[in-house]
């Protein structure tokens, strides 16, 4: 008889007490079906990213009830990137899935992913992408599209528009991702950077089943900047906006002085144009400083070599396994 395949399902959670039970119910349906059809074994590895509600208690209860559920809980909120990394480091399945707990990533696709990887030796990963952004605000969609356009232009890594973190990977690819120890992680870029063959499957956007999104507009903007800094040396940087603002002020000054000179005449000739030039050059200088500063700050956080996350508690079955962060 063939060796039984083990699939680890990594589920990052931050304040998700309402969604976890719904997720488990839906995922169990898929597990039962896949176990029957393909004799696979599954493990759900929940990562509590320092939730402030009862997420950890809900996970603990679920782990006591089901032997295929385990969990890791962080000492504070380290962000989804750290939660995914912790999951990947602690997952021991032959196939590893990353999925959101809010059912925006359809669990039924896990079967399609497994079948594709099993039947096509050529593929190492099956990833998902949204073909539309229904239910998302127009402004968020606009900036997201802008981000993908810009990052594709600025970086050599081809980051697919609408790509989700939801994917299934073979062990070899998981090991390569875990071997990248950078502190400022941008997984969408890392998945592409490590290479391997990825098959994309499309699905229509869905709304969360319960709870609310953890991403604010600013949170997403900063994440997008992190991504650009991590994967491009020609970045678009927030602090640099200061420089652009100065340039705009300089242009406004040019207009004001021009109109003033036309209407009232110019009593002191020379100084306004000088002021404009100084202001403009200062703007450019700040812009460039901002870019250098952003890279320096990222280098600083890398050099400190702090761990990605700190575990406060973990499920018994994980206690003997690898310790976090070496
Ligand atoms: N998440 C996390 N840590 C965070 C923020 C989010 O682990 O700091 C998890 C969250 O619980 C969910 C997934 O990441 O399972 C996606 O988050 P969310 O649904 O809020 O993002 P969106 O789908 O709106 O992009
Ligand atoms: Mg979501």
pLDDT tens, per residue, the chain with 326 residues = 568 899 999 999 999 999 999 999 999 999 999 999 999 999 999 999 999 999 999 999 999 999 999 999 999 999 999 999 999 999 999 999 999 999 999 999 999 999 999 999 999 999 999 887 777 778 878 888 888 888 887 777 788 888 899 999 999 999 999 999 999 898 988 999 999 999 999 988 888 888 888 778 888 888 888 887 887 766 555 556 767 787 788 889 888 888 888 888 766 667 777 888 888 778 878 878 888 888 888 899 899 999 999 999 988 777 655 544 44
For atom 24 of ligand 1, the residue with the nearest CA is 213
* Main-chain phi, psi angles of 130, to 5 degrees: -85, 135
The predicted model scores a pTM of 0.82
Cα separation, 180 vs 195, in Å, equals 13
The CATH class of the 6-139+160-215+307-315 domain is: alpha beta
Q: Smallest Cα–Cα separation from 234: which of 288, 280, 190?
A: 288
Closest ligand by atom to 18 CA = 1
| pLDDT confidence of residue 267 | 63
Q: What residue segments make up the domains of the chain, in order of their start?
A: 6-139+160-215+307-315, 234-304
| pLDDT confidence of residue 242 | 67
> Which bin fits 269, alpha (ψ -120 to 50), beta or left (φ > 0)?
beta
Q: How far is CA 49 from each of CA 7, 26, 136, 227, rounded to the nearest angstrom?
A: 22, 22, 24, 21
DSSP string over 244-312: HHHHHHHHHHHHHHHHHHHHH--SS-SHHHHHHHHHHHHHHHHHHHHHHHHHHHHHHHHHHT--S--EE
Ligand 1 pocket (Cβ < 6 Å) reads 12-14, 16, 49, 77, 79-80, 83, 100-102, 104, 208, 213-215
| pLDDT confidence of residue 326 | 43
Cα separation, 152 vs 150, in Å, equals 5
Q: What would the two tokens of residue 17 be?
A: 């007490």
| pLDDT confidence of residue 320 | 59
Query: What spacing in Å lies between the alpha carbon of 291 and ligand 2's midpoint?
Result: 31
CB 7 within 8 A of CB 96: yes
| pLDDT confidence of residue 177 | 96
Query: What spacing in Å lies between the alpha carbon of 93 and ligand 2's midpoint?
Result: 24
Residue 89 CA, chain-centre distance (Å), reads 17
Query: What spacing in Å lies between the alpha carbon of 140 and ligand 2's midpoint?
Result: 14
Q: How far is CA 160 from each of CA 41, 198, 233, rounded to the nearest angstrom?
A: 31, 11, 19
């Amino acid at each position: 008889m063939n060796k039984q395949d083990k699939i680890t399902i990594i589920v990052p959670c931050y304040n998700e007490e309402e969604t976890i039970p719904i997720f488990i119910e839906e995922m169990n349906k898929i597990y039962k079906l896949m176990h029957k059809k393909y004799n696979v074994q599954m493990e759900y590895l929940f990562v509590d990213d320092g939730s402030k509600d009862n997420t950890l208690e809900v996970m603990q209860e679920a782990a006591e009830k089901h032997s295929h559920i385990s969990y890791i809980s962080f000492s504070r909120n380290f962000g989804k990137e750290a939660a995914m990394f912790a999951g990947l480091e602690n997952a021991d399945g032959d196939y590893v899935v990353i999925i959101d707990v809010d059912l925006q990533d359809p669990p039924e696709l896990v079967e399609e992913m497994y079948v594709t990887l099993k039947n096509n030796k050529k593929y190492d990963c099956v990833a998902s992408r949204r073909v539309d952004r229904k239910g998302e605000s127009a402004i968020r969609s606009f900036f997201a599209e802008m981000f993908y356009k810009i990052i594709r232009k600025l970086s050599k890594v081809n980051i697919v528009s609408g790509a989700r973190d939801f994917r299934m990977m073979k062990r070899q690819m998981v090991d390569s991702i875990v071997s990248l120890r950078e502190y400022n992680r941008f997984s969408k870029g890392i998945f592409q950077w490590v290479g391997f063959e990825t098959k994309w499957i499309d699905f229509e956007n869905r709304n969360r089943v319960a709870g609310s999104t953890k991403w604010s507009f600013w949170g997403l903007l900063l994440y997008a900047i992190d991504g650009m800094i991590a994967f491009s040396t020609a970045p678009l940087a927030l602090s640099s906006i200061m420089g652009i603002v100065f340039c705009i002020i300089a242009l406004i000054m040019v207009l004001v002085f021009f109109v003033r000179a036309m209407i009232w005449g110019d009593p002191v000739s020379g100084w306004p144009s000088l002021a404009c030039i100084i202001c403009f050059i200062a703007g450019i200088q700040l812009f460039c400083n901002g870019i250098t500063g952003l890279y320096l700050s990222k280098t600083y956080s890398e050099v400190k070599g702090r761990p990605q996350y700190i575990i406060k508690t973990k499920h018994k079955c994980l206690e003997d396994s690898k310790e976090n962060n070496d």
